[in-house]
Structure formats: structure tokens, C-alpha cells
Amino acid sequence: MAVPKKRTSKAKSRSRKANWKKKAQYASQKAVSLGKSVLSGKNTSFVYINVLEQETNT
């Protein structure tokens, strides 16, 4: 089994954790932005098919 040879410094571990949190924040902002554009109907960068709207029209 792999075992670390030396202890990781606090600065390095905190830096890695900050990068991990920054990635998560970016992903959540992107998801919120995508949701807002779907709700407002201003979707230009993707195709969104509203299933409820299609069922009521047929």
C-alpha cells in the first residue's frame, strides 16, 4: 500500500483545498447561470426542449 514519505505542509494542503473549492464555485455559478437562462427563455448557446410545453400543444 502506498504511504507518503513526508508530511504535507499546511500551505500546500490549504492551497490544494482552495483550488478544489474554487472549481466547485465556478461549476455552481455556471449551473445557476444556465438555470437562469432556461427560465428567462434567453438560451442562445444551447438547445433546450420544454417537454411540458410540447405535451400541452398536442
Gap between the Cα atoms of 52 and 3, Å rounded:
54
**Rounded CA gap, 31 and 33, in Å?**
5
Domain that holds residue 51: 10-55
Pair 16, 26: CB distance under 8 Å:
no
Domain assignment present for residue 43? The answer is yes
Domains contained in the chain, number: 1
Q: Are 37 and 43 in contact (CB under 8 A)?
A: yes
Any domain includes 31? yes
- Tell me whether residue 50 is in a domain: yes
The answer to whether position 33 is within a domain reads yes
The answer on pLDDT for 22 being more than 70 is yes
pLDDT digits (tens, 9 = 90+) for 8-18: 999 999 999 99
- pLDDT value, residue 55: 59
Mean pLDDT of 31-35: 88
